[in-house]
């Protein structure tokens, strides 16, 4: 099973993205206890693209591919922005620091088993893979 959409980088579009990811997770029989985390992880990744890559420009394109893979699910997020830093250098704030914001990368990395940033000629592809144990 595979679903693919493209949407403008307007924050109002994130509600439809969350609905699509939730329905995809349910359709692919993601364990109920994991659905909300998967939805939140993809939502956070989209929000990071809007904020950090597109600097809140609301008309830039984001691609999202949802695919069922052997033993799990995979999401591919594609942006077409300028990425000035290497993904390995991206860090969230210290978990000991008590302040709002900065926990998105921690949450994404703890939700998904594989988080791969693949630089493209024009932009970046973020590949989020979640594996599930067979019952």
Helix ranges, the chain (H): 14-27, 32-48, 104-111
CA separation for the pair 79, 48 (Å, rounded): 11
The residues spanned by each domain of the chain are: 2-131
Per-residue pLDDT for the chain (135 aa), expressed as one digit of tens each? 999 999 999 999 999 999 999 999 999 999 999 999 999 999 999 999 999 899 999 999 999 999 999 999 999 999 999 865 555 555 554 545 544 455 678 889 999 999 999 999 899 999 999 998 765
Residues 45, 118, 115, CA angle at the centre, nearest 5°? 50
C-alpha span between 17 and 56 (Å, rounded): 17
C-alpha–C-alpha distance, residues 25 and 74, integer Å: 10
Q: Looking at domain 2-131, which CATH architecture does it have?
A: 2-Layer Sandwich (3.30)
For tokens 């099973």, name the residue: 1
Alpha-carbon gap, residue 53 to 51, rounded angstroms: 6
Euclidean distance between CA atoms 119 and 81, whole angstroms? 11
């Amino acid at each position: 099973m595979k679903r693919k959409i493209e949407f403008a980088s307007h924050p109002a579009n994130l509600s439809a993205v969350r609905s699509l990811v939730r329905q995809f997770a349910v359709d692919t029989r993601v364990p109920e206890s994991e659905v909300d985390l998967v939805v939140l992880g993809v939502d956070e990744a989209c929000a990071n693209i809007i904020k950090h890559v597109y600097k809140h420009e609301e008309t830039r394109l984001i691609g999202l591919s949802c695919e069922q893979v052997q033993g799990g699910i995979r999401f591919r997020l594609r942006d077409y922005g300028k990425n000035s830093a290497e993904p390995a250098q991206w860090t969230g704030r210290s978990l000991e620091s008590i302040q709002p914001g900065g926990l998105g990368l921690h949450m994404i990395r703890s939700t998904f088993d594989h988080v791969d940033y693949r630089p493209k000629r024009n932009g970046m592809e973020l590949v989020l893979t979640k594996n599930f144990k067979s019952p």
